[in-house]
């Protein structure tokens, strides 16, 4: 085992392209100098296509959770009624943020591993017309569920003026999302997932109708006042010191996405999802989510005849392969594989091979190569 070799297959942080790492090694510049203005000017329009919006995409120094809290602080007042759709740990985080800021938080809990039924949310809003905002998660990282955000947005629009605010942290850049076309009011993501960067940047795009609500919000906020970021970005600037090295990397990330083609990026992520799912089905290892609810960026397995944490330990010790465990009540019951960003079909074949050896090592009698063969078939057929 080579000491510097690491195989990172968790749903964030994700591996960084070497060319992006090199881009981030450029000398530091003044954050108010012309070079920074030019950097922001080159990045801003390229982010719009990734978000599926004509709005400027705001860039804040902070983790994805910073973006979630900024959305809450700007879009709703203390005492407002909001609905938070909770399909896992990160839907729960949205609810916690709302509660911390004295917002009247209605939770709609869905069994972990399942996607929300849009019709149930439609009925809930009919019964609670005073709801000011609905919060949802595009990809629930803790379970590998991709929620039907497009359909949710459509139903919310049909029946109310409620704002629709979406956590896209482990989805944007790996899953196709069309913020403007679908009717999403606020869409947030972070740098360390499908955007192929280290942690430290959060991104937020805001609709025109949401800006009107935010401009009328008198809640005091300094760093998280999104109108400051909007106004400064119009002048190719940020209100506070930006994460300059990450911006250099981001510029190169947008170029890589352009070179591959956005639809090809989404297709690659779906292909990796199909490979993972086919491999574990071949070994009769249960998947946490259905095919219909599966995310293209992370897949969760819920084995019934071996300890997932024992497998994770063996993979780490033997191969330096890191896969994620479960969160909260799923801790010790599932393991998760991240397949987003700087990750390809070749990486997934390698990952499956190591996992098969790991399974044999812990005593599960799998047929070596069976999962790889199933994954290879999905490449050749272009399907699942």
3-state helix, strand, coil in the chain (%, to 5): 45, 15, 40
How far is it, in rounded angstroms, from Cα 70 to Cα 164?
14
The residue count for the chain? 384
Torsion of CA 286, 289, 294, 298, to 10 degrees: -70
Neighbours of 3 (CB within 10 A): 6
| Cβ contact 162:156 at 8 Å | yes
Distance from the first to the final alpha carbon of the chain: 33
310: phi then psi, degrees, rounded to nearest 5: -65, -40
How far is it, in rounded angstroms, from Cα 48 to Cα 59?
12
From residue 332, how far is each of 201, 310, 311, 315, 335 by CA, in Å? 30, 9, 11, 16, 8
Torsion of CA 34, 35, 37, 39, to 10 degrees: 170
Q: Which has the closest alpha carbon to 92: 132, 160, 143? A: 143
CA 215 from chain centre, in angstroms, equals 27
Establish whether 9 is an annotated binding residue.
no
Please state the residue numbers annotated as binding site. 336
Please state the residue numbers annotated as binding site for substrate. 336
């Amino acid at each position: 085992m080579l000491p510097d070799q690491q195989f990172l297959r968790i749903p964030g942080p994700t591996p960084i392209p070497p060319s992006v790492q090199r881009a981030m090694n450029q000398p530091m510049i003044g954050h108010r100098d012309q070079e920074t203005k030019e950097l922001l000017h080159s990045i801003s329009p390229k982010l719009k296509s990734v978000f599926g919006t004509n709005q400027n995409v705001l860039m804040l120094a902070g983790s994805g959770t910073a973006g979630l809290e900024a959305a809450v602080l700007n879009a709703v007042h203390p005492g407002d009624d909001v609905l938070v759709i909770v399909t896992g740990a990160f839907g729960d985080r949205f609810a916690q943020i709302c509660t911390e800021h004295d917002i009247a938080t209605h939770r709609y809990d869905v069994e972990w591993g399942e996607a929300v039924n849009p019709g149930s949310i439609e009925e809930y809003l009919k019964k609670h017309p005073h709801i000011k905002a609905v919060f949802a998660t595009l990809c629930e990282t803790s379970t590998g569920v991709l929620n039907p955000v497009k359909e949710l947005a459509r139903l919310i629009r049909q029946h109310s003026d409620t704002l629709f605010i979406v956590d896209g942290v482990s989805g944007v850049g790996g899953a196709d999302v069309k913020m403007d076309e679908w009717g999403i009011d606020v869409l947030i993501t972070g740098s360390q997932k499908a955007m192929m960067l280290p942690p430290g940047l959060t991104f937020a795009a805001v609709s025109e109708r949401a800006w009107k609500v935010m401009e009328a919000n008198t809640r005091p906020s300094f760093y998280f006042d999104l109108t400051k970021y909007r106004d400064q970005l119009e002048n190719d600037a940020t209100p506070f010191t930006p994460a300059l090295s990450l911006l250099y990397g981001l510029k190169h990330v947008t170029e890589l996405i352009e070179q591959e083609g956005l639809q090809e990026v989404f297709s690659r992520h779906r292909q990796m999802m199909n490979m993972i799912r086919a491999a574990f089905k071949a070994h009769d290892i249960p998947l946490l989510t259905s095919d219909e609810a599966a995310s293209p960026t992370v897949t969760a397995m819920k084995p019934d005849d071996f300890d997932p944490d024992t497998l994770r330990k063996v993979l780490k010790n033997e191969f330096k392969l890191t896969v994620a465990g479960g969160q909260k009540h799923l801790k010790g019951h599932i393991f998760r594989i991240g397949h987003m960003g700087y990750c390809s079909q070749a990486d997934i074949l390698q990952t499956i091979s190591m996992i098969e050896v790991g399974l044999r090592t812990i005593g599960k009698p799998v047929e070596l190569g069976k999962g790889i063969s199933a994954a290879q078939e999905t490449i050749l057929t272009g399907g699942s």
